[in-house]
Amino acid sequence: MSEEQICRQCGHCCERWGWGQAGSPADLRPWIDHSRKDILQHVTVYLDNGQKTSGTRITADDLHRMTKVRYWQDPSGRPLRHCPFLGRSRDGKAFCGIHDMRPAVCRDYAPWNCGDGEYQNVRCLACRERTP
């Protein structure tokens, strides 16, 4: 995040892009190691044998066999159209329920770093204050 841009915790980024994201096996490693079934139940994994499965059914031994990882699904395997970990505090500010273990796609994202102007479609409060 640049010093000129300060996240206002509006949550519009996560509302727009907090679902249907491509993931990586590297993201899953700490979730597996810490038995974070609450996170893994929202992950779809595709293995090299063509099998599609829930993140709750994989082990660390499966990481090298993954061909695709998708975020986020409901526990029955249906894709979600929202991030299941996006919450709101009483003052209306957005927060991430898995902030300490969020995937790289979330850690590395900031709307003002988009080179294609897509940030304008996010309704980001920080971007309104100062256009990147």
Half-sphere exposure for 106 (CA within 13 Å, toward CB): 25
pLDDT tens, position by position, 77-122: 888 888 999 999 999 999 999 999 999 988 887 666 665 555 566 6
Q: pLDDT band for 1, please (50, 70, 90 cuts).
A: very low
Overall pTM > 0.85: no
Strand extents, DSSP E, 48-98: 52-54, 66-71, 86-88, 94-96
Question: If 0-12 CB within 10 Å is exposed, 13-18 middle and 19+ buried, where does residue 97 land?
Answer: middle
| Host H or E run for residue 128 | helix 125-129
